[in-house]
Chains A and B, each alone.
Chain A
Amino acid sequence: MKEKSYVEDINRSIYDIKDEEKDAYRIEEGLTKEIVEKLSSEKNDPEWMKEFRLKALETYNKLGVPDWGPSIEGLDMEHIVTYVRPNTKMQGSWDEVPQDIKDTFDRLGIPQAERKSLAGVGAQYDSELVYHNVRDDVAKQGVVYTDMESALTGEYADMVKEHFMKLVTPADHKFAALHGAVWSGGSFVYVPKGVQVEIPLQSYFRLNAKGAGQFEHTLIIVDEGASLHFIEGCSAPKYNVANLHAGCVELFVKKNAKLRYSTIENWSKNMYNLNTKRVIVDEGGTIEWVSGSFGSHVSYLYPMSVLKGDNSKMEFTGVTFAANGQNLDTGAKVVHIGKNTSSYMNTRSISKGGGISTFRSSVVVKKSAKHSKSAVSCQSLMLDSESRSDTIPAMDIRTKDAAIGHEAKIGSISDDAVFYLMSRGMSEEDARALIVSGFADNVSKELPLEYAVEMNNLIRLEMVGTVG
C-alpha cells in the first residue's frame, strides 16, 4: 500500500498573538440604523457620507445572502462589532504608536520592511489606521498616500466623493452594501500624471478585536502615464468566534498608466473574508493582480477588471492554499469592453487536510471588444482525499472577433517526481514541500523578494509535518 505524507497545519505563532484591548472604543454588536448613525458620528463624516451609509444599509437589508458559494451560516451579524477604534490617533512615526500595537507590527515585520523596501506604509489596527507615512522623495513627486478619513475631508475630498463606491456600488452584492454602511479606515492613493513610483507602497491590515469586523476602503487613482506597485497584507489572531472582513478596493487606472496590486492574505481561520476588489482600466492601461490566499475560514475573493479602454490589459496571477477548516472560493473576473484588450489569468490551487479550494472565474467579452484576447490557465493540486478542489470557470463571448483560450488541470503530486528528489538525498517531506513551492512559483516570482520569501515560508510551514 502506498505510504502517505501527513502535512501539518500552518505554524501561525507570529500571527496568533492576541493583544489586550486597552481603552479601545467599541460600538455595540449588530447592525441597525442607530449603530450606523453612531458610527458615522464617531467618525465625523461629512453629511453626504452619512446619507450614503444609511442608503447602503437599506440596500443591505434588501439583498440576500449568496447561495452559490461556501456557506456563511456561521456568520451572525447580530454578534459582529462593526467599529473598534484603538486608543491612539494615526501617527507619522512608529515611536508614537502605543507600544503593544507597535510590538504587533514589529512581529509582523512591517517597520523593517518599510525601512528596507517600501516607499510608504499604512498600518491599520482594527477599524482605524494607527500609522501612515510616505517617503519624502515620493511625496515630492506629488504622490498622495494617506488614510481614507483624511482624504474624505482634506484637499482631495472632491476626488474621493467622485470615485467612492462608484465602481463597486452598494447594490453589487450584500457585503458590498454592508461595506458601504460601516466602512472605516483604508488608504487613498493618487499618483499624478507621468509619475513612476519606483518602489512599492504597502498597507497592512491587522484585526485584533475578538468578534469584530474590518471594513477598510482602498481607493487608488493612477493618472495618465503613471505607474505604481501597491502591496496589501492582512492578518489576525484566531478566536473561537467569527470575525469578518468585508473590505473594498476600487482602482482607477487611467490612460497608459500601470498598476500592480499585490496581496498576501493570511487572515486567521475564524475569519469570513468577503472582500470586493475592482479596477477600471482606460485606454492603453495595464492592471496586474498578484494574489496569495492562505488564511480565512471562508473566502469569497474575485478581483474584477473592467477593460474599458482600447488596448488595455489585465494579468491575474494567484495562488490559494486551503487547509483544514478552510473553504476558500477565489478567482478573478474580467470584462472586455475596449478593442484590442487582453487578459491572462494564471492560478494555482492547493487543497489539503480537508480544505476546500474553489477556483471561480468569468471572462466576458462584449460585442464592442473587437480583436480581444483572453487566456485562462488554472491548475489544482490535491494533497489528500479528505480535501476538495473545484474549478468553476465561465466564458461569455459576444463578438466573433476574439480569441479565447482556457485550460484547467487537476491532479496530485507525482510519485515519480517525489521519488526523483528522494533519490537525490531529499526526505519525502522536503521533496513534497519543494514540489508544492514550485507549483506556486507563478505567484512568488511576481512578488518583491522579501514577500516571495515570506510566501515560500508560509508554504513550507504548511507542508512541514510527519511522513508515514
Chain B
Amino acid sequence: MEKNRIINKLPAKTWYWLNVNEAKLEWNDASELPETVITSGDESICIESDNAYSEKTVKIAPDKGQEVTVYMDYQFNGNLEVRTELNAVEDSVIKLVQVQHTKSDSVLYNRIKGECTGNGRIEIIQVLLGEGDVYTEDAIDLVGEESSLKIDIGYVGQKNQKTDINVVANHFGKKTLTDITVSGALRDAAQKTFKGTIDFKNGSTDSVGNENETVLLLGDDIVNKSVPLILCAEENVVGNHGASIGDLDEDTLFYFESRGIDKETAENIMANAAISRVVNLIQDESVRESLLTEIK
C-alpha cells in the first residue's frame, strides 16, 4: 500500500520555510530480504535486488573485546530500505563501510541505528557513488563512559540527484567522543541536505563532539542545504562545528592553472578528492583500490 513516510527528522525543528525539518519519501509494500547477523570477524555483504520495493535488516553485534569489520555494497534497482543495527559493547569495535551504488531511477533509504555501551566504539564510512536518490540516517547513542563514534561520509551529487543525510550523535555517557566529517561535491542540478546533530545530554560530562563539512559547488543549478546542530544540556563539554561551502577559490585555481591544468580538470580533481579522502580511510586494500579506480 502506498504511503508517504516522514523520515530524517531534525532533532530540534527550525523554520518550516527552509524545508529541512524532515524529508518525505513515497513508499510501498516491500519484499523483505533475508536478515544478516554478524558477531565476529570480517564480512562482506552485497545487497542486490530487482524488486520494486525491498527491505533488509543487518545486525552487527560483536562480543565483548571483539573487533568486527563489515563491508556493505548496494547494487540494486528500484527502492531499497536497509536497516543496520549496531551494538558495540565494552572493549568492542565496529567498523562499518557502506558503498552505495544507486542507479539513476533508484531510491535508497539507508538507516543505521547504533548504541555504544562500555567503552565501545563505532566507525562508519559511507561512500555515496550512485546516481539515484539517497536518504541516509545514522543515529548513534553513546551510552557508555569513554564510548566513541567516528563517521566519515563522501559523496558526489550529479544530474538531478537528491541526497539527504541525517546524522545524530547522542552523548549520554561521560567522556564520550564524536567526530563527524562530511565532504562532497555537487554538480549539475544536484540537491543535497546535510543535517548533523551532536546532542550533549545532561550527565555527559567531559565529552567532546566535532563535526566538519566541506562542500564543493560545481553546478549552475545546485541546491546545498547544511544544518549543523549542537544541542547542549551539560556544562563540561566541548562542541565544535565548522563548514566550508563554495566553488574553487582563486588561489587553488591559480595553483592548478600555473601547472597547466584548466579549470574543468581542476574541478574534477577536487571533486574526486572530496570522495577519495573518505575512500582512503578504508583499510582493505582491494576494496579501497577498486573504489579509487571507479572514482577516476
- Whether B241 sits at the interface, judged by CB under 8 Å, is yes
Q: How far is the CA of A192 from the CA of B287 in the complex (A)?
A: 69
A394-B14, A394-B18, A400-B247 given; A411·B229 CB < 8 A: no
Q: How far is the CA of A165 from the CA of B14 in the complex (A)?
A: 24
- Whether A61 sits at the interface, judged by CB under 8 Å, is no
What's the nearest-Cβ distance from chain B to residue A330, in Å? 13
Measured between beta carbons, the chain B residues less than 8 angstroms from A395 are: 224-227, 243, 245
Measured between beta carbons, the chain A residues less than 8 angstroms from B89 are: none
Measured between beta carbons, the chain A residues less than 8 angstroms from B68 are: none
What's the nearest-Cβ distance from chain A to residue B183, in Å? 15
Measured between beta carbons, the chain B residues less than 8 angstroms from A67 are: 13
Measured between beta carbons, the chain B residues less than 8 angstroms from A48 are: none
Q: How far is the CA of A391 from the CA of B199 in the complex (A)?
A: 10
A68-B16, A392-B12 given; A400·B231 CB < 8 A: no
Q: In the complex, are the beta carbons of A409 and B228 less than 8 A apart?
A: no
Q: In the complex, are the beta carbons of A405 and B239 less than 8 A apart?
A: no
Q: How far is the CA of A397 from the CA of B186 in the complex (A)?
A: 11
Choose among B13, B14, B16, B240 the residue with the greatest number of A CB atoms under 10 Å from its CB.
Answer: B14
Q: How far is the CA of A398 from the CA of B228 in the complex (A)?
A: 18
Q: Contacting chain A: which of B1-9, B31-39, B214-222, B277-285?
A: B214-222
- Whether A402 sits at the interface, judged by CB under 8 Å, is yes
Q: In the complex, are the beta carbons of B239 and A409 less than 8 A apart?
A: yes
Closest chain A residue, CB of each to CB of B227: A394
Interface string of A404-415 (1 = CB under 8 A from B): 111111111000
What's the nearest-Cβ distance from chain A to residue B129, in Å? 21
Closest chain A residue, CB of each to CB of B217: A400
What's the nearest-Cβ distance from chain A to residue B92, in Å? 30
Select which of B218, B219, B239 is within 8 A of A410 by beta carbon. B239
Measured between beta carbons, the chain B residues less than 8 angstroms from A396 are: 18, 223-225
A397-B217, A403-B249 given; A383·B231 CB < 8 A: no
Q: How far is the CA of A247 from the CA of B143 in the complex (A)?
A: 45
Measured between beta carbons, the chain A residues less than 8 angstroms from B218 are: 400
Choose among B222, B240, B244, B246 the residue with the greatest number of A CB atoms under 10 Å from its CB.
Answer: B246
- Whether B43 sits at the interface, judged by CB under 8 Å, is no
Select which of A388, A394, A398, A409 is within 8 A of B223 by beta carbon. A398
- Whether A84 sits at the interface, judged by CB under 8 Å, is no
- Whether B236 sits at the interface, judged by CB under 8 Å, is yes
Interface string of B169-206 (1 = CB under 8 A from A): 00000000000000000100000000000001010010
What's the nearest-Cβ distance from chain B to residue A413, in Å? 9
A362-B18, A389-B232 given; A410·B245 CB < 8 A: no
- Whether A457 sits at the interface, judged by CB under 8 Å, is no
Q: In the complex, are the beta carbons of B232 and A390 less than 8 A apart?
A: yes
What's the nearest-Cβ distance from chain A to residue B241, in Å? 4
- Whether A360 sits at the interface, judged by CB under 8 Å, is yes
A390-B229, A395-B243, A400-B220 given; A384·B14 CB < 8 A: no
Measured between beta carbons, the chain B residues less than 8 angstroms from A401 are: 217, 247
Closest chain A residue, CB of each to CB of B222: A400
A397-B245, A400-B217 given; A391·B240 CB < 8 A: no
What's the nearest-Cβ distance from chain A to residue B140, in Å? 19
A400-B220, A402-B247 given; A409·B240 CB < 8 A: yes
- Whether A380 sits at the interface, judged by CB under 8 Å, is yes
Closest chain A residue, CB of each to CB of B204: A385
Select which of B13, B15, B18, B243 is within 8 A of A406 by beta carbon. B243
A400-B217, A400-B219 given; A412·B235 CB < 8 A: yes
Q: How far is the CA of A380 from the CA of B246 in the complex (A)?
A: 26
Q: How far is the CA of A398 from the CA of B244 in the complex (A)?
A: 15
Q: How far is the CA of A408 from the CA of B200 in the complex (A)?
A: 15
What's the nearest-Cβ distance from chain A to residue B12, in Å? 6
- Whether B21 sits at the interface, judged by CB under 8 Å, is yes
- Whether B73 sits at the interface, judged by CB under 8 Å, is no
Measured between beta carbons, the chain A residues less than 8 angstroms from B18 are: 362, 394, 396
Measured between beta carbons, the chain A residues less than 8 angstroms from B222 are: 397-400
Closest chain A residue, CB of each to CB of B211: A408
Q: In the complex, are the beta carbons of A390 and B235 less than 8 A apart?
A: no
A390-B230, A393-B228, A406-B226 given; A383·B13 CB < 8 A: no
Measured between beta carbons, the chain B residues less than 8 angstroms from A399 are: 217, 220, 222
Measured between beta carbons, the chain B residues less than 8 angstroms from A68 are: 13-16, 21
Measured between beta carbons, the chain A residues less than 8 angstroms from B223 are: 396-398
Select which of B219, B227, B235 is within 8 A of A385 by beta carbon. B235
Q: In the complex, are the beta carbons of A407 and B234 less than 8 A apart?
A: no
- Whether A207 sits at the interface, judged by CB under 8 Å, is no
- Whether A280 sits at the interface, judged by CB under 8 Å, is no
Q: How far is the CA of A388 from the CA of B231 in the complex (A)?
A: 8
Q: How far is the CA of A67 from the CA of B12 in the complex (A)?
A: 10
Closest chain A residue, CB of each to CB of B240: A409
Q: How far is the CA of A398 from the CA of B12 in the complex (A)?
A: 24
Choose among A385, A394, A405 the residue with the greatest number of B CB atoms under 10 Å from its CB.
Answer: A394
Measured between beta carbons, the chain B residues less than 8 angstroms from A387 are: 233, 235
Q: How far is the CA of A409 from the CA of B237 in the complex (A)?
A: 10
Q: In the complex, are the beta carbons of A388 and B233 less than 8 A apart?
A: yes
Q: How far is the CA of A374 from the CA of B201 in the complex (A)?
A: 31
- Whether A130 sits at the interface, judged by CB under 8 Å, is no
Q: In the complex, are the beta carbons of A406 and B228 less than 8 A apart?
A: yes
Q: In the complex, are the beta carbons of A388 and B245 less than 8 A apart?
A: no
Q: In the complex, are the beta carbons of B225 and A382 less than 8 A apart?
A: no
Measured between beta carbons, the chain B residues less than 8 angstroms from A409 are: 238-241
Closest chain B residue, CB of each to CB of A352: B235
What's the nearest-Cβ distance from chain B to residue A302, in Å? 9
Select which of A367, A382, A391, A394 is within 8 A of B235 by beta carbon. A382
Q: In the complex, are the beta carbons of B246 and A411 less than 8 A apart?
A: no
Measured between beta carbons, the chain B residues less than 8 angstroms from A412 are: 235-237
Q: In the complex, are the beta carbons of A404 and B245 less than 8 A apart?
A: yes
- Whether B20 sits at the interface, judged by CB under 8 Å, is yes
Q: What 8 pairs across the A-B complex have the smallest Cβ distances? A: A68-B13, A400-B217, A403-B246, A404-B245, A410-B239, A406-B243, A408-B241, A385-B235
What are 13 A-B contacts with C-beta separation under 8 Å?
A: A360-B14, A380-B232, A382-B237, A383-B235, A385-B235, A390-B232, A392-B12, A396-B225, A400-B186, A400-B222, A401-B247, A410-B240, A411-B239
Q: Which residues of A contact B (CB under 8 A)?
A: 67-68, 360, 362, 367, 380, 382-385, 387-412
Q: Which residues of B contact A (CB under 8 A)?
A: 12-16, 18, 20-21, 186, 200, 202, 205, 217-247, 249
With A385-B233, A394-B15 known, 7 other A-B pairs at CB within 8 A are: A380-B232, A389-B232, A394-B14, A398-B223, A402-B217, A409-B238, A410-B240
